[in-house]
Every structure is written in C-alpha cells, then in structure tokens.
C-alpha cells in the first residue's frame, strides 16, 4: 500500500522560505518520477517541478524556475521542495505525486494523469 505524506507547509511573509517534504511509504524511491503540484484558490492545478528519483534529475515548470529547488533523499525515501522568495501568488495547496515505475534517465515530465499516487496536500500561505 503506497502512501505519500506531505509536510512543511505554513504561513510566511512575502520573501520568506519554506521547505516541503513528501515521504513515501510502501514504495522505494530508487526508481520513478515524483512531481510537485499546487492549486491556489480559484485556480487550476499547476505543475511545479519533478524529479527522476533514480538519478535525481530535476525539471522545473515556469512557476518554479529560479526560486524552487526539488531534491530527494533516498535514505529517507523523501522528496523535498525548497521554496524561496515566496510571493502571495504562491499561496496554494501543494501536493506530491508519484509515478512508480522505471523511467528514462534524465528529467521526467509525466502528464498529470500518469501519476498513480497522490498525497493529501500541505497548505502554503504567503501574506
């Protein structure tokens, strides 16, 4: 039974930083693709970043470039999203999602409907 649990959200002032964590259980993250998504109030779900969990290759969508860093710690079976210089427009529920299969080396960019497992989300509020 695979579960993803996000944590690390909270309330910060503009310009602040947060690091989100996504801990996986029931699946070893040495292969696959993990993505971070967010959904702000009244907005559609948006892709933020992905990481090829085997080789650690990151990919950033426009919403994250330059301010967010995705990483993983295989020993802790955890993927992180470090966020800096946060803006009110970053206010959203952040979710991690897992594509649990072998993927090609290098950055992975699955379509949202390819992810099989989703976490419950962690709220980030910037104000």
What are 29-48's pLDDT values in tens digits?
A: 999 999 999 999 999 999 99
Encode 27-43: b = buried (16+ Cβ within 10 Å), e = exposed: bebeebbbbbbbebeee
Distance CA 120, CA 63 (A): 21
Query: Which residue did the predictor score with more confidence, 64 or 81?
Result: 81
Nearest to 82 by CA among 125, 43, 36, 47: 36
Q: Which region among 42-46, 49-53, 62-66 has the lowest average model confidence (pLDDT)?
A: 62-66
**DSSP 8-state assignment for residue 89:** G
Which pLDDT band holds residue 66 (cuts at 50, 70, 90)? confident
Distance CA 125, CA 127 (A): 6
Please tell me the predicted confidence (pLDDT) of residue 7: 98
Which pLDDT band holds residue 102 (cuts at 50, 70, 90)? confident
- Quick one: 88 exposed, middle or buried, by C-beta within 10 A (0-12, 13-18, 19+)? exposed
Percent of the chain with pLDDT over 70: 100
């Amino acid at each position: 039974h695979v579960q993803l649990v996000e944590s690390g959200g909270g309330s910060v002032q503009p310009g602040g930083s947060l690091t989100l964590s996504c801990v996986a259980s029931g699946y070893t993250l040495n292969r696959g693709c993990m993505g971070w998504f967010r959904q702000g109030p009244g907005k559609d779900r948006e892709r933020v970043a992905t990481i090829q969990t085997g080789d650690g290759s990151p990919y950033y969508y426009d919403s994250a470039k330059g301010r967010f860093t995705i990483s993983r710690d295989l020993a802790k079976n955890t993927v992180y999203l470090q966020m800096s210089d946060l803006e009110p427009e970053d206010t959203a529920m952040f979710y991690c999602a897992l594509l649990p299969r072998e993927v090609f080396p290098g950055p992975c960019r699955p379509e949202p409907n390819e992810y099989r497992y989703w976490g419950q989300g962690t709220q980030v509020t910037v104000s």
